[in-house]
């Protein structure tokens, strides 16, 4: 098959995928999104003959728009424009999880600092303020007091971009010093790991320690439901343990897996490429 890899930066994750695809003899078209132009009717030449595009854009904005163009050109893409749209935005993500009945931290959105402060006071301290777009734990704030809340809200209001004036307030979940990252394809887990840290942010990108994790049936059920809720695809589903159950706080659509690949015995890129191959085979059969 011919695979288009949409990228702006080749991280180790992309390199692992490229190596696996090349080893299997697949043709690869690396598409640097920074150099392309996307016309509303004419696809760029780089998409000629590709069977599927894997969106590995580093920038969320590029991911959201390019997947929509690929949809318009009828070029299969993982992940889909719908999945990218839902996952890229924490508000849409939370709404999708709640709508699907997946346990997710209680969340409220407010549009002014005064109304956000009311939400924060209602939630009590600590609670969490997150930017609606962004990742790697950046600009996340654990709010411990009213005076901290007032200061953070004031700072956010002056950051400039309108997205910072969408105040996404979430209950603080007391987790056991770790959360769980599950890499799944259409809801079927490939591998899972815990990310542990003394810091309240346990992201691997923040230096959290990672370790392989065996999922129980309940976690598998929630991963499948969370994946369905956002439209499926190659996803990173993040769960926290709440004692008797789990809560799903986020589903990521341009998921990084290098830390996971190092932590588990599973050959993660091989499993991902298996899934891509199956997807192309199924779509080819369907179109015959």
Q: Does 79 bind other proteins (CB under 8 A)?
A: no
Q: Which of 1, 2, 30, 91 binds other proteins (CB under 8 A)?
A: 30
Contact between 219 and 239 (Cβ < 8 Å): yes
Q: Which listed range, 14-22, 36-44, 97-105, 118-126, lies at the site for other proteins (CB under 8 A)? A: 14-22
Rounded to the nearest whole angstrom, what is the least distance from the CB of residue 41 to other proteins in the complex?
Answer: 27
Cβ closest to other proteins, residue 187 vs residue 236: 236
Q: Which of 15, 11, 18 is nearest to 205 (CA)?
A: 11
The contacts found for 69-76 with CB under 8 angstroms, 24 or more apart, are 69/38, 69/40, 69/43, 72/40, 73/43, 73/47, 75/4, 75/43, 75/47, 75/50, 76/51, 76/52, 76/279, 76/280, 76/283
Cβ closest to other proteins, residue 249 vs residue 253: 253
Rounded to the nearest whole angstrom, what is the least distance from the CB of residue 242 to other proteins in the complex?
Answer: 23
Q: Which of 39, 136, 188, 284 binds other proteins (CB under 8 A)?
A: 136
> Cβ-count burial of 49 within 10 angstroms (0-12 exposed, 13-18 middle, 19+ buried)?
exposed
Cβ closest to other proteins, residue 70 vs residue 133: 133
Rounded to the nearest whole angstrom, what is the least distance from the CB of residue 206 to other proteins in the complex?
Answer: 12
Q: Does 122 bind other proteins (CB under 8 A)?
A: no
Q: Does 60 bind other proteins (CB under 8 A)?
A: yes
Rounded to the nearest whole angstrom, what is the least distance from the CB of residue 243 to other proteins in the complex?
Answer: 28
Q: Which of 128, 133, 192, 234 binds other proteins (CB under 8 A)?
A: 133
Rounded to the nearest whole angstrom, what is the least distance from the CB of residue 285 to other proteins in the complex?
Answer: 31
Residue with tokens 């369907």: 286
Contact between 136 and 59 (Cβ < 8 Å): no
Q: Does 127 bind other proteins (CB under 8 A)?
A: no
- Within 13 Å and on the Cβ side, how many CA atoms surround 185? 16
Q: Which residues in the 246-265 window bind other proteins by CB under 8 A? A: 252-256
Q: Which residues in the 188-247 window bind other proteins by CB under 8 A? A: 205, 236
Q: Does 20 bind other proteins (CB under 8 A)?
A: no
Supply 126's token pair.
Answer: 């600590």
Cβ closest to other proteins, residue 97 vs residue 120: 97
Rounded to the nearest whole angstrom, what is the least distance from the CB of residue 6 to other proteins in the complex?
Answer: 11
Q: Which of 185, 117, 188 is nearest to 150 (CA)?
A: 117
Phi/psi at 6 (5° precision)? -85, 125
Size of site (CB under 8 A) for other proteins: 27
Residue 69 CB neighbour total at 10 angstroms: 18
Q: Which of 138, 146, 199, 218 binds other proteins (CB under 8 A)?
A: 138
Helix, strand or coil, per DSSP, at residue 159: coil
In this structure, is the dihedral angle defined by the CA atoms of residues 76, 77, 78 and 81, taken in order, positive or negative?
negative
**Strand 77-78 versus strand 52-55 pairing type:** parallel
- Interface residues with other proteins (CB under 8 A) are 7-11, 14-15, 18, 30, 32, 58-61, 133-136, 138, 161, 205, 236, 252-256
């Amino acid at each position: 098959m011919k695979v288009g890899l949409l990228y702006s930066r080749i991280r180790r994750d992309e390199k692992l995928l490229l190596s696996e695809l090349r080893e299997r003899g697949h043709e690869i078209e690396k598409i640097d999104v920074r150099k392309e132009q996307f016309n509303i009717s004419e696809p760029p030449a780089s998409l000629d003959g590709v069977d599927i595009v894997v969106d590995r854009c580093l920038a969320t904005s590029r991911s959201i728009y390019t997947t929509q163009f690929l949809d318009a050109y009828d070029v299969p893409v993982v992940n889909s424009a719908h999945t990218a749209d839902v996952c890229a935005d924490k508000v849409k993500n939370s709404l999708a999880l709640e709508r699907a009945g997946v346990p997710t931290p209680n969340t409220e959105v407010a549009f002014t600092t005064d109304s956000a402060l009311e939400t924060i006071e209602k939630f009590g301290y600590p609670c969490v303020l997150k930017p609606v777009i962004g990742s790697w734990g950046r600009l996340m704030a654990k709010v411990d007091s009213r005076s901290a809340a007032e200061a953070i809200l004031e700072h956010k209001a002056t950051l400039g971009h309108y997205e910072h004036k969408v105040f996404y307030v979430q209950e603080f979940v007391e987790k056991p010093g770790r959360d769980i990252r599950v890499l799944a394809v259409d809801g079927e887990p490939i591998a899972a790991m815990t990310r542990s840290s003394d810091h309240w942010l346990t992201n691997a990108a923040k230096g959290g320690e990672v370790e392989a994790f065996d999922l129980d049936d309940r976690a598998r059920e929630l991963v499948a439901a969370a994946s369905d809720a956002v439209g499926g695809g190659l996803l990173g589903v993040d769960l926290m343990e709440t004692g008797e159950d789990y809560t799903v706080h986020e589903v990521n659509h341009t998921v990084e897996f290098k830390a996971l690949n190092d932590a588990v015995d599973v050959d993660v890129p091989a499993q991902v490429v298996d899934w891509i191959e199956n997807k192309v085979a199924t779509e080819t059969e369907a179109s015959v």
